[in-house]
Amino acid sequence: MIDPSLVANNVIDGVLMGLLYSLVALGLALVFGVMDIINFAHGDFVMIAAYLSWLLAMAFWLDPSIIAVITVPVFFLIGVAVYKLVIEPILGAEPLIQIAVTVGLGYVFQNVALGIWKAEPKSFPNPWFNFSIDLGPVTLTVAKLMAAAISLISLYLVHYLLTNTKFGLAIRATSANREVAPLMGINVRKVYAITFGLGIALTALGASLYMSWGQTNPYLGQSFSLLSWVIVAMGGLGGVVGVLYSGLIVGILEALGTTFFTASARLAVVYIAFFLLLWFRPRGLFARR
């Protein structure tokens, strides 16, 4: 028999993690939706940002989640620079070239991390919020609760940017028709640069929050990439709300995988559920028609 309070705890953990996954996946969804480029290095930006969070946390002896105030703007600028140097030259190129370039970028990141920090995991030894509180039968980790709340707020802010600001309208117009957007006076290259910067800034926020309890290694990006792809494929067409729901579903599935099978089966459970979903709804959860 499986203990119901264990299930409840894991599901809550899944919801909290799901919100963090949504945050990271939103960056991928924005870049894909607006620029039609699949950034295969997306998760590796999370990994590099996790190392930067760890380094700065060690240097200032502050919790990594606080370090987000540095990593987020820095990664926004890194995102803009990577856009200019790496992405802009391959806009409109063959998909195979785009895949090769972004996969290659992720590979470079992994090898840089491996070269500098070796394969051994790094975590901040003095986290501030990595403790639990008991609420009746369930136990909550404060760091995860905080990460989930900040993720949710950030999802809302991005949603607000997209739906209630002039620049957000430019982003959505560009996403709808990048050929025609310039005829409105929209500078599409600028929209691309800022969208990519924003997408990368979100990976940094996710990474800094995650490091307030988690640990990083050079391969951390792989699971973040996989989960982000699944989330975007499932809900990407539904905008920010679609990403939010899909992230929650993925987080809960992962938690149930851990509960009923083993921790190492969690990604397999997510994937099997994903295949089943594609079987019934090949265009994702939020496809029209």
Q: Confirm or reject binding of residue 166 to other proteins (CB under 8 A).
A: yes
Q: Confirm or reject binding of residue 145 to other proteins (CB under 8 A).
A: no
* Residues ≥6 apart with Cβ < 8 Å to 159: 239, 240, 241
Joined tokens for residue 156 = 């809302």
Q: Confirm or reject binding of residue 186 to other proteins (CB under 8 A).
A: yes
Q: Confirm or reject binding of residue 183 to other proteins (CB under 8 A).
A: yes
Q: Which residue has the tokens 């990006």?
A: 221
Q: Confirm or reject binding of residue 170 to other proteins (CB under 8 A).
A: yes
Q: Confirm or reject binding of residue 134 to other proteins (CB under 8 A).
A: no
- Taking the complex as a whole, the smallest distance from the CB of residue 174 to other proteins amounts, in Å, to 9
Query: 81 vs 237, which CB is nearer to other proteins?
Result: 237
Query: Please, are residues 225 and 42 in contact by the beta-carbon 8 Å criterion?
Result: yes
Q: Confirm or reject binding of residue 289 to other proteins (CB under 8 A).
A: no
Question: Which residues are registered as beta bridge partners of 134?
Answer: 139
Query: Please, are residues 75 and 204 in contact by the beta-carbon 8 Å criterion?
Result: yes
Query: Please, are residues 196 and 83 in contact by the beta-carbon 8 Å criterion?
Result: yes
- Taking the complex as a whole, the smallest distance from the CB of residue 40 to other proteins amounts, in Å, to 26
Q: Confirm or reject binding of residue 185 to other proteins (CB under 8 A).
A: yes
Query: 92 vs 104, which CB is nearer to other proteins?
Result: 92
- Taking the complex as a whole, the smallest distance from the CB of residue 181 to other proteins amounts, in Å, to 8
Q: Confirm or reject binding of residue 172 to other proteins (CB under 8 A).
A: yes
Binding other proteins (rule: CB under 8 A), the pick from 152, 169, 278, 285 is: 169
Query: 18 vs 239, which CB is nearer to other proteins?
Result: 239
Site string for other proteins, 189-218 (x = CB under 8 A): x-----------------------------
Query: What CA dihedral angle connects 287, 79, 144 and 244, to 10 degrees?
Result: -10
Query: 111 vs 163, which CB is nearer to other proteins?
Result: 163
Query: Please, are residues 211 and 64 in contact by the beta-carbon 8 Å criterion?
Result: yes
Q: How many residues bind other proteins (CB under 8 A)?
A: 19
* 124-129: Cβ within 8 A, 24+ apart: 124/54, 124/57, 124/58, 124/63, 124/64, 124/211, 124/212, 126/61, 126/63, 127/63, 127/64, 127/212, 127/213, 128/63, 128/65, 128/212, 129/63, 129/65, 129/212, 129/213
Q: Which residue has the tokens 């459970």?
A: 269
- Taking the complex as a whole, the smallest distance from the CB of residue 286 to other proteins amounts, in Å, to 12
Return residues touching other proteins (CB under 8 A).
Answer: 166, 169-170, 172-173, 175-177, 179-189
